[in-house]
Amino acid sequence: MNEFDIKAKEWDSNPVHLDRSETIAQRIIDAGFLKKEMTAIEFGTGTGILSFLLADRLKEIIMIDTSAEMVKKAREKIDERKTSNLTPLLFDLEKDDYPGEKTDFIFSQMVLHHIADTEAIIKTFDNLLNKGGYLAIADLYSEDGSFHGEGFTGHNGFDIEALKKEVEECGFSDVQITECYKIRKTVNETVKEYPLFLLIARK
């Protein structure tokens, strides 16, 4: 059982998770490229908050995550709401070849900084997208390591110019990056703000 399996049960009770997803969903909608006939993959869906917010604007979303408990929670929500175009999938896209068809849109929030080899996963995204498809990534700007604290083995956010170059070198164009949200956390009795960016690119 990983840390997200443990967090799954209470994930949706944190109001920040919904507020963040609502803001990011609206930014993606405002970008103007979503079409009802598009299929999509959410990478690292968790309990699927963002996918549920975008479901009415897309034909189908495959909700990928490596946490069995997160996928279970997402499936329970789909059953409760009788949502017909969302499909949770327990799958590790870092390690295995995706068994489904190519898609028109791939999106994720607060996942990339957990991925050791970001270049490899972005190349995977490129390979999974249809020509003219879109990629949207929301994540942390570079931070001092206090967001996760000691013991975290991922990235302490991203230098956006370096990330933009990496995305372009992996085959994407029209890369746009804007600040989209601020997470406030108390660290050592001090309230700190951690800004998030939204990167949108086209294949």
Burial class of residue 116 (count of CB atoms within 10 Å of its CB; 0-12, 13-18, 19+): exposed
In the chain, the number of structural domains is 1
Task: Give residue 144's domain range.
Answer: 3-202
| pTM for this entry | 0.95
Query: CA triplet 21, 93, 120: central angle to 5 degrees?
Result: 95
User: 118-128 and 160-169 are packed helices; what angle lies between their axes, rounded to 10 degrees?
Assistant: 50
Alpha carbons 156 and 143: distance in angstroms, whole number: 6
- Percentage of the chain modeled with pLDDT above 90: 89
Total residue count of the chain as it appears in this document:
203
CATH number for position 132: 3.40.50.150
11-30: average pLDDT: 94
Which SS3 state, helix, strand or coil, does residue 184 take? strand
Burial class of residue 149 (count of CB atoms within 10 Å of its CB; 0-12, 13-18, 19+): exposed
First to last CA, the chain: 36
12-20: average pLDDT: 91
pLDDT band of residue 75 (cuts 50, 70, 90) is: very high
